A and B are shown apart, each in its own frame.
Chain A
Amino acid sequence: MIEIIESVKNLSIGFNSQKGKQISILRNVSTNIKKGETVGIVGESGSGKSTLALAMMGYIKQGLFPLKGECLFKSEDLLKMSSRQLEKIRGRKIAMIPQNAGQALTPNLKIGYQIDEALRLHTDLSKTERDKKISELLNKVRLPSPETMAFRYPHELSGGQQQRVAVAMALAGKPDLLLLDEPTTGLDVTTQAHVLELLRFIAKDTGTSMIYVSHDLGAIAQVSDRIVVMYAGEIVLEGPARKILKEPIHPYTYGLLKSIPKLSLAGLPASMPGSQPQPGSINQGCSFYDRCNLATDHCKKNSPDLEHIKELDTNVRCFNHKELISQNINLKTSIKKKSNNSEAIEVLKLKDVSISYAKQKFFDQLLNKISDQNPTVKDINIDIKKGETIALVGESGSGKSTILKSIAGLLKTKDGQIKFENDRILSSDLKMRNPNDLRAIQLIFQNPDESLNPNHTVEQILSQPLKLYFNLSGEELKKNIIDLLKKVRLGEFYMSRYPRQLSGGEKQRVAVARAFAAKPDIILCDEVTSALDVSVQAAVLNLLQQLKEDLGTTYVFVSHDLAVVRAISDRVAVLYQGRLCEIGPSQNVYKFPSHPYTEVLLGAVLEPDPDIKPKLVAEDIVEENPPEKGCSFQGRCPRKIGDICNLEVPPWQIGENGNAIRCHINIDELASLQQ
C-alpha cells in the first residue's frame, strides 16, 4: 500500500457575487497525492488549478472561501487549522515554488537571508550550520558561486537564477510535498528546460512528492507521473501521464492536445471553438457542452460524474468517452496551409540594419553622432516577399521585437536602410513617413489588454483607422466595421462592447481586425499568441492564416515559441543577441544542418509527449551585451572550435536545402555532427 500524503475530498471553493449569489470556482474536486509521486495539474486560465494548488497548502486567496470539502494532509484538515498550526506545516511539510520568483522574493532582503529564514523557522541548526546549509542548497540548485550569491539581492539575478533560489528556499525545510505553481512560465525556452531538469533531479534525489501546476502540457509531460486535467473548476480527466497524453479520452483534453503546435508537424494545429464558461454560468449539464463535438441532448441536461475506467486506470468526466475511443484518437494531424507564390516580388527589404539603445551623450547629439560601437541589433539583412510569413525567433534579448519596432518606425535605426515597395527607402523617423506608408504597415501587439483602449467600445476602436486612413463616416463606416468583425468571426453585437467584456481570444481578434482595417500590405505581429491559452492560440493562428490567404497580406511574425513559428511561418530567421544566426524556409530550418544556436533552441522545446525529452546542449547563461568581436553565440556555443569564433564574424554559408547559416564550421561538417 502506497502512502497517501495529501488527499482532497469534495472540495468546493467560491465567492459571493455582488448579487449575493454563491459562485464556485472549484466544484467538488477530489484527488490523492501519493508519496514520491509527481502530479501535474493542467488547465487553461480560469480553470481553478491555482486555487486548488493553494488550497492544498491551506491557503485561500482573499475574497474566496471554502464552500465544502476538506484538504487532508496526513489526515488533518488544513482548511480547519489555525494560522499557528499552518505556520508549522508550510515550508516544513509542504513548500511552495511560485510562478514568478522575481516577484515572489522580497526585494529588500538578500537571497541568503531569505533562505536562512526558512532554515531558522523549520530546522534546529546553529548559525554556522545554517550558513553551510545555505551554500549547500545554492549549490544543489546549481547556482554559480554559491558563497557570493547569498549576499545578493533578488533583482541582481536573472529570471532563471531567481527561480533556482525559490527552489532552494523551498527545499530548505525538507518538505514532504512540493507545490509548483507554473514554475517555468515566463522563462526562456532553454532556461525552462534546465529548471525542469533540475526539478526532475530533485524529485528523484529527495523522494519528495510534487504537485506541478501549469497550463503548459509540454512542461507537464516532462515531469509528471500522473496528470489531472481541470476545466471550469472541475476535474475532467485524471490518470497516468502517458495514458492522458497519448490517449486522451476526454474531448476537452483531446482538443487541447490537438491545438498545441508541434515541432515535428508542419501546418497549423486544429483549434477548439468557443471559450471556457465563466464561473457561475453553468446551471445544468456538462460544462464542456458548448465546445464539444460529441455532445448530445443528454449532455445538455445532465452533468456527468467522474467515472473510473479500470483498464486505463483513468477517471473521466464524460458520457461519450467510449465514442471518442472508437473514433481513433490521432494527435498527429494538422491543417495544411496553402503554399504561396514563390515568384512573388519583394515588398520589404532590410539592408544592413543596426539599431542601438545606447543613449546619445549630449555632445554627440550636438554633432549628430552615434557613439555606440556595439549596437543591440547589427547587420540585419532580410528580404521579405509579398504574401509570405516570415518569422523572427529567439530568446528574450535577441532583438526580435526591436527589429519589428524599427520597421514600424517606432525606433530609429542607427545604420542601414529599410526599403519598401520598389526599393523606396522608408525614413527611420515615423514623422517623416508619408501617410500611405504608415497605413501599409500595421502592428499587432502581444497583450490585447494593454493595446486596446479600455474606455473605447469595439466600434470606436475599429472606426479609428477607418476614419484616419479612408475618411469614412456614417453608414459606410458602420458597414466597414461589421465587415471587419465578420472577417475575424465576431458578430455585429460586439460593436457596443468594451474590451473588458471580451475574453482574451476575442480581444486579440479585435486587435487583428484593427490592424486589417487599414488594408495593410504588411502586418507586424509581436508575440501575438503568447498571452493566450493554447486552444485560443490555435484559433488565432488559424484566423491569421485564413486572412492572409484571402487578402494576400505579408506577415512579419515575432515569437519565442518555435512550435508556433513552425506552424505559421513560411520562412524563419533565428536571432541571437541582435545578430542573425540562420535564415531559411521553415521546413528546412527545423532540419539538419542547423546553426548551433538553432540546435540549442530546438533541443530545449518541450513537446507534450513523455517520450520526447529535451536535449540540453548549452548552458543557460544570460548574456547582457552582445560580444564586441566574433560570433554572437561564442559565449554559449556547444560547438565552439576556437579563437576564430571569438575574433572573426562568421561567414554566411548556404546549405543544399536553402537555409543560410552563419558559422565558422563547414556546413556539411555541421550536418554530420548533428545527425
Chain B
Amino acid sequence: MLLLILKRIGLGLITLFIVSLITFVGVEVLPGDACTTYLEREAYGSALDACIKRLGLDVPAYERYLDWASNVVRGDFGYSLSGEMPINEVLGPRVKNSLVLASVSILIGIPLAIVLGIITALWRDKLPDIMISTITIFSMTIPEFISATLLILIVAIWLGWLPGIVIIPSDATFYELLSNIILPVVAISMIMTAHMARMVRSSVIQVMASDYVQMAILKGVPYWKMVFRHVLPNALLPAINVVALTIAWLLGGVVVTEVVFNYPGLGRLVIESISNRDLPVVQALAIILASIYVGINLIADLMTLMLNPRLKSLQIRK
C-alpha cells in the first residue's frame, strides 16, 4: 500500500516536471522574450539591454530553466514583470480567495448534488425526478455568463439584496468575503450541482438494477436500509473522482464567473497575466494549477482504493 502511494506520488511529480518543461519551452519558442513583450515599443537599445540583464535572459535557456526550476522547488516563483513584485505576493491572496470560493461552493454544492441525484434515481420517472431533472438539465445548458448576469440583474439590481460585483481588497478577511461571494457561489453551484446530480442519478440507477440489490430486497431488507447499506456506498464510489475534478476546476477554471463578478481569484489572474504578457506569472500559474489537479486526483485515487474493498485486496495481494 505504502509502495503504491509512493509510486503514485512519483508519477505525479513526473507529470509536474513535464508540465513545467512544456510551459517553459512554450514561453521560449514564442516570438520575442519577456523583455520585448514587456517593453513593447521601447524594446531597443539600452533599455532592452538593461532589462535582459536584469532578468538574466542572456544566459542559455537550459541554465535559466534549471535556475527557475530550483527556485520553484524552494517555493520561489521569482518576480512578476508588470507589478515588479514577488510573484508569491501576487499569488497569495488570489489562492486564498479561490480556496474560499471553492470550499463554500463545495460545501453547498456537493451534498445538494448527492441528495438531488439520489432523489431523482429513487423516484425515477416519477414527479420528483421529472421536476428536478428538468431544472438540472436547464441549469446545465445555460452558459454561466448568462446565468451570472441574470443573477446580478435580479438579485442585485432589481431586488438590491446583495452587491452585484465583488469590490473587496484582495487581502479582505473571510467575513468580508462571505457576503460578497453568495452570488458567485450560486452561479457556480448551479452548473456544478447539475452535472454531479446527473452523474449520481445514473450511478444509483445502475446499482439499483444490480443483482445484489435484488438479492437484498428478496432477503427482506427494508427499503431505506437497503438504500443506505447496499446501494449508496457502491453508487457513490465512482463519484469521488468526479468530485475531485470538480474541485480542481473550481480552483482554477471558473474564469467566466470570476470575470463577471469581478472576483479576484486564480482564474481571473490567469486571464489578466496572459493579457498583460506577464510570462513569469503565467508560468507560475501553470505549475500551481497543474499541482492542484495532480494533488487532488491523487487524493481521489487513494480514497477510491481505500473505500473499495475489491481494489484494496487486489493491491495488497500484489
Contact = CB atoms under 8 A, between A and B. Distances in A.
Interface in B110-157: none
Contacts of B309: 107-108, 153, 155
Given A98-B215, A103-B210, A107-B309, A87 B221 contact: yes
A90 B217 contact: yes
Contact of B214 (A86, A104, A121, A169): A104
Interface residues of B, number: 25
The interface centre, meaning the residue of B209, B215, B220, B309 with most chain A CB atoms within 10 A of its CB, is: B220
A95 B219 contact: yes
Contacts of A106: 212-213, 215-216, 229-230, 234
Interface string A89-100: 111100110111
Nearest to B232: A108
B220 A104 contact: no
Contacts of A99: 211
Contacts of B211: 98-100, 103-104
Interface in B203-229: 209-223, 229
B313 A89 contact: no
B310 A155 contact: yes
Contacts of A104: 211-212, 214-215
B233 interface: yes
A155 B215 CA distance: 16
A98 B212 CA distance: 9
B217 A59 contact: yes
Given A108-B233, A109-B230, A156-B313, A103 B212 contact: yes
A92 B220 contact: yes
A100 B211 CA distance: 8
A531 interface: no
A122 interface: yes
Contact of B218 (A90, A100, A107, A153): A90
Contacts of B220: 86-92, 118, 121-122, 173
A402 B210 CA distance: 31
Interface string A142-164: 00000000000101100000000
Contacts of A62: 209
A105 interface: yes
Contacts of B233: 108
Contacts of A105: 212, 215
A310 to B, nearest CB: 37
A57 interface: yes
B212 A155 contact: no
Contacts of A88: 220
A106 B210 CA distance: 9
Contacts of B308: 108
Nearest to A117: B221
Contacts of A365: none
Contacts of A98: 211, 214-215, 218
A155 B221 CA distance: 22
Nearest to B218: A96
Interface in A43-90: 54, 57, 59, 62, 83, 86-90
Nearest to B223: A83
A296 B313 CA distance: 62
Nearest to B210: A103
Nearest to B312: A153
A99 B308 CA distance: 24
Contacts of B214: 59, 98, 104
B-side interface mostly = helix
Given A88-B220, A117-B221, A96 B234 contact: no
A86 to B, nearest CB: 8
Interface residues of A, number: 34
A122 B217 CA distance: 14
A108 B234 contact: yes
Contacts of B217: 59, 90
A271 B222 CA distance: 47
Contacts of A118: 219-220
Nearest to B317: A156
Contacts of B212: 103-107
Contacts of B229: 106, 109, 117
Contacts of A96: 215, 218-219
Contacts of B218: 54, 57, 59, 90-91, 95-96, 98
A459 B220 CA distance: 50
Residue in A86, A107, A156, A166 with the greatest tally of chain B CB atoms within 10 Å: A107
A140 to B, nearest CB: 18
A103 B233 CA distance: 16
A479 to B, nearest CB: 46
A99 B218 CA distance: 13
Contacts of A156: 313
B2 to A, nearest CB: 21
B313 A153 contact: yes
Nearest to B209: A62
Contacts of A155: 309-310, 313
Given A87-B221, A156-B313, A107 B234 contact: yes
Contacts of A107: 212, 234, 309-310
A633 to B, nearest CB: 25
A189 B164 CA distance: 73
A496 to B, nearest CB: 33
B286 to A, nearest CB: 31
A90 B222 CA distance: 10
Contacts of B310: 107, 153, 155
Contacts of B215: 96, 98, 104-106, 166
A395 to B, nearest CB: 22
A417 B213 CA distance: 49
A229 B47 CA distance: 97
A54 B210 CA distance: 15
Interface string B291-315: 0000000000000000111100100
Contacts of A92: 220
Contacts of B209: 62
A114 B212 CA distance: 11
B113 to A, nearest CB: 21
A205 B210 CA distance: 32
Interface string B172-215: 00000000000000000000000000000000000001111111
Nearest to A108: B233
B237 to A, nearest CB: 8
Nearest to A89: B220
Nearest to B222: A87
Nearest to B311: A155
B73 to A, nearest CB: 28
A83 B233 CA distance: 23
A62 B210 CA distance: 12
Nearest to A57: B218
A105 B214 CA distance: 10
A453 B307 CA distance: 37
B219 A117 contact: yes
Nearest to A54: B218
A192 B211 CA distance: 21
Nearest to A92: B220
Nearest to B229: A109
Contacts of A117: 219, 221, 229
Interface string B65-77: 0000000000000
Contacts of B219: 90-91, 95-96, 117-118, 121, 169
A212 to B, nearest CB: 16
Contacts of B313: 153, 155-156
Which one of B213, B233, B309 has the highest number of Cβ atoms from chain A below 10 Å of its Cβ? Answer: B309
**What 6 A-B pairs have minimum CB-CB distances, sorted nearest first?**
A91-B220, A90-B220, A103-B211, A104-B215, A96-B218, A153-B309
Given A87-B222, A99-B211, 6 more contacts: A59-B218, A86-B220, A104-B211, A104-B215, A108-B233, A121-B222
19 contacts: A59-B214, A87-B220, A89-B220, A90-B220, A91-B218, A95-B218, A98-B218, A103-B210, A104-B214, A105-B212, A105-B215, A106-B212, A106-B230, A107-B234, A108-B307, A117-B221, A153-B313, A155-B313, A173-B220
